[in-house]
Structure 1
Amino acid sequence: MRLSPVVVLLSALLAVQLSGCASQPANQAEAADTADETGLPDYNDETDISIEWRKQLGVGAGTAYTRLRPVVSGDTVFMADTSGEVYALDLADGSEQWNVDLEQPVTAGVAQDNGQLFVATRDGFLHCLNSADGSEIWRSRMTSESVAPAGTDAKRVFVHTVDGRVTAFERADGKQAWSYETAMPVLTVRGTGTPLVLDQLVITGFATGKLVALDKTLGIPRWDVRLATPDGRSELERLVDVDGAPIWDNGIIYAASYHGKLAAVSLNGETRWEEEGSTYTSPELALGNLYLTLDSDHIQSYDMASGAPVWTQKALHGRRLGQTSAYGSWLAVADGEGYLHIMNQVDGELVGRKLLRPKPLHVNYPNQTEGTNWRALRGRDMGIRSPLVATDKGLLVYTNAGELLLLSVQTD
C-alpha cells in the first residue's frame, strides 16, 4: 500500500476550509479574498505580477497527488489534464491549436522531444503522440503506473514507474529495450522523479534513498550513491524516497531525498559534497546557487560549488510549498492555498505575492448587486502543486483546479 503524508494532510485541510463556503454577494466575496491574507508574512512589494492569460483545462488534479506540468517547445505549450485530454496551446495568448482525448486519466506528462509527446495514463500505458496534431504514434504497456514525465534521448524514452522499475522504450515503435528493477520498501511516498538522461547514463532516484546510474544502452547499474538511510521505529519514520528529479550542470549531478541530504555527485559516482536537506522536490539551479524547498516548507539556498548554506527563507512555513523555479533574477514558489510567492535569489527576501484563485461563477442575486457563486468552488482544491515553468514569455502556472495561467513578473 502506498501512503503519502502530503495527500492525507491536503485532504484534511481542504475538508475544513471548504465546509463553510457558500454563495455570497460581491462585497462578501471580496472580504473572503482579503481574509486569505491572514497568517501570510509581510513582504517588500517590489514586483508587478500580472496575468497575461488563463485557460481552464479539464478538471485539474484536485486532491489526487499528481504533478502534471506544462512543457514548451518554440511558441507552443503542451499540457495534459487528469481527465485524459492533451492540449497544444499558443504560448502568446493561450489559444488552442488542438486537443485529443486519451479516454483514460493522465498520471504523468507531458514529455516532449523532437516532434513527439509522451504521456502516461492510469491504466498503465505510455502514449507517444505527434506534437503537430496529437495523433497517436504508438502506445506501450508499462509495468505499473507512472507519475513523473519520461526522460528521452534521440532513440529511446525512459520511464520510472511506482513499482520501482525504470524501463527503456524504443522511440520508433514503442518496443521495450530493457527494464531495471529495485526492491521497494514496505511504505513509500507516492511519487518518482523524471530520469536524467546523459550521454551514456540514465540517472534516477529510488524509494530506497539511493541515486542510481544505469547504462543507457544495457540498463545495468554502473554506480549508486546513498542520499538517505532509513532510520526510526515506524515505517513512516523510515521513508527515504528520492522523489525529485536529479539535475545536471557542468559534469556534476545534484539530487536530494526525503529524510536525507542534498548531494553533488560526479559522473563516476564520486560524492563531491553533501548537506542536510529533506525534500519531496527537485533542486533548482541559478546564479551559482542551488535552491531547494525543504519538507519543513523552508526555502534553502546552497552554494553549488561547496554545498555551504547561503540563506534560508522560513517565513512561508506551513504553507505546503511546491518546487522552486528560477525566473529572471527571482525565485518563484507556489503554495497549497493558491498563492504565488516571489523571492530575491540573492538573499531570499520576499518581494512579491499574488493569489491565483480559480475563477468562480458570477450570478445575479434578487434585489442585490452581482455576486460570486463560491458554492461552485466547493470541493475544488485551491492550491498549486505542479512545478512552475519559466518561459521567455512569462511564468506558466498550472493549478490543482485545472487552470493554466501565463504570468508576467516585472520590477515594480
Structure 2
Amino acid sequence: MRGLRFALLVSVVALTACSSVSNQPDPSPLPVIESKVQPKLVWKNEIGSETEFRFQPVFSGDLVAVVGGKSQVALLDRNSGQTKWKITLPQEVAGGVGVGSGLLAVGSLKGDVTALDVSNGKIVWTVKASSEVISAPVVANDLVIVRSNDGKVTAFSASTGTMKWIYQRQQPPLQLRNYAAPIVAEGIVYVGQAAGRLSALAVDDGRVLWEAPIALPRGASELERVTDIVAPPVVHADMVCAVAFQGRIACINTKNGSLIWTRDVSSWSGLAIDERYVYVSDVKGHISAFERNTGRSVWKQEKLAYRFVSGPAVLGNQVVVGDLEGYLHYLDPEDGSLVGRLATDGSRIYLAPQSNGSQAVVQTSKGGLYLLGAQ
C-alpha cells in the first residue's frame, strides 16, 4: 500500500510539474489577428461550478451529455441548448461522460462506474473499477469500457454492469495521471499507455491484437524518462495516430500495428485528424500540421506559445483550439494562420472541443458550455 501511495503521489507531482504556470515561461500575449472568420456561437449554457477535473461534453445524436463540478450530470438538447434533465450523484464525478446503448456512464475518484438511463437520468447500475476513474468511460458494442488510473481497462455489460473482460499491463514506477479515454473504432479498442505504448484490443473479449511503441523512454532520471500517452489517439481509415509527452507523434497501421511514420513532438494536449493532415498541440502551445500519409511537416503556428493550448478539433474548414483564458482560436488548415477568435467565460479550456464536423461543443473549467457551428 505504501508503494501504491508513493506511485500515485509521484503521479500527481509529475502532472503538476507539467502544468504549473510557475514552471513555464510567461504566456504569450493575445496575438493581434486579421479576422477572416466570424465564429458562430449557436448557444451557451453552464453546468456545475469550477472544478479541478477535465470534462469534455459528448454528442449523441440530437443530444449533448455533460458532467460538471459538484457531481452534476446533465443531458441537453443539441439544437437549443436547453437542459432536458440534470441530477446530482452521491459520489463526486471525476471521469467525464460516455454515451451509448441508451446509457450515460460516468466514473469517480473512488472507482465507482455509474450508468444512467439517458431518457430520465435514473441510475441503472453502479459497479466498482479497480481504482479511481479520471478518464471518460466509452460506451460501444453494448459495453461500458473504463480505463482506471492503475492502467487497467475493464469492460462492463451495458445492460447489467457485469464485468466482461479486463486488460492490464505492467506500469512504470513513475507516470502521469492519465485523463485520456480509450477510443473504439471498427471493433478495436485503442488505449494509450504509460511508457509510450499504444495497445489495440478486441472490443468483444479484450484480447491484445497488437502493441506498438509510440515513444521510447530517454534520459538519465525517472522524470526525464516519462513518455506517457495522456491524450486520446485518433483514427482515420486504416491509420491510428497517438502522441506522447516527452516523446513523439506516431501513426500506425490499424491492421497489424506496423509503424507508418513518426515525428518528434511532446504533447499532453492531443491530436486531431482529417482527410489530409494530422494536427497536434505541443507542450509549448505550438500547433502543427503534418501530412497524414507521409508525416511531412506542413506548418507550425507559434503565436499561442505557453497559453496552455488545448488539443485541436476540426470544425468545418477550420481548426479550433482553446487556451488558459477561455479563448477559442480558429486556424486556417492550409497554413496555420489565426483567422478568428471567440471569448468564453475567461476560464481555462483543458480539453479539445468535441466536434462532429459541422458543430463542436466545448466546456470551460468553470462549467461553461458553448456550441459552435461551422462556417
Global fold match (TM > 0.5): yes
- Aligned partner of residue 204 in structure 1, secondary structure: strand
1:55 corresponds, among 28, 40, 45, to 45
Matched residue, 1:118: 105
Alignment of 1:208-357 (within 5 A): 208-266=195-253, 267-357=255-345
Q: Are 2:30 and 1:40 equivalent residues in the alignment?
A: yes
**Structure 1: which 5+ runs fail to align?**
18-35, 359-381
TM-score when scaled to structure 2? 0.90
Q: Are 2:213 and 1:204 equivalent residues in the alignment?
A: no
Q: What is the distance in 1 between the residues matched to 2:167 and 2:85?
A: 36
Q: Is the 8 A contact 1:47 1:409 kept in 2?
A: no
Q: Is the 8 A contact 1:4 1:190 kept in 2?
A: no
Q: Is the 8 A contact 2:105 2:139 kept in 1?
A: no
Q: What is the distance in 1 between the residues matched to 2:101 and 2:189?
A: 19
Q: Are 2:353 and 1:388 equivalent residues in the alignment?
A: yes
CA RMSD of aligned residues (A): 2.3
Q: What is the distance in 1 between the residues matched to 2:15 and 2:306?
A: 12
Residues 1:200 and 1:324: Cα distance change in structure 2 (over 3 Å): closer
Q: What is the distance in 2 between the residues matched to 1:3 and 1:332?
A: 29
Q: Is the 8 A contact 1:255 1:263 kept in 2?
A: yes
Once the two structures are TM-superposed, the CA of residue 274 in structure 1 deviates from its matched residue by 1.5
Alignment of 1:75-224 (within 5 A): 75-224=62-211
Q: Is the 8 A contact 2:320 2:330 kept in 1?
A: yes
Q: Is the 8 A contact 1:241 1:258 kept in 2?
A: yes
Once the two structures are TM-superposed, the CA of residue 151 in structure 1 deviates from its matched residue by 2.6
1:3 corresponds, among 7, 12, 15, to 12
Q: Is the 8 A contact 2:56 2:351 kept in 1?
A: yes
Q: What is the distance in 2 between the residues matched to 1:275 and 1:349?
A: 22
Query: Which is greater in Rg?
Result: 1
Which structure carries more relative contact order (alpha carbon 8 Å, separation 6+)?
Answer: 1
Q: What is the distance in 2 between the residues matched to 1:285 and 1:263?
A: 13
Q: What is the distance in 1 between the residues matched to 2:317 and 2:354?
A: 15
Q: Is the 8 A contact 1:49 1:354 kept in 2?
A: yes
Answer with 142-151 or 198-207: which moved more: 198-207
Residues 1:328 and 1:153: Cα distance change in structure 2 (over 3 Å): same
Once the two structures are TM-superposed, the CA of residue 307 in structure 1 deviates from its matched residue by 1.0
Percent identical pairs in the alignment equals 29
Q: Is the 8 A contact 1:107 1:122 kept in 2?
A: yes
Q: Number of aligned pairs?
A: 363
Residues 1:96 and 1:216: Cα distance change in structure 2 (over 3 Å): closer
Q: What is the distance in 2 between the residues matched to 1:231 and 1:259?
A: 9
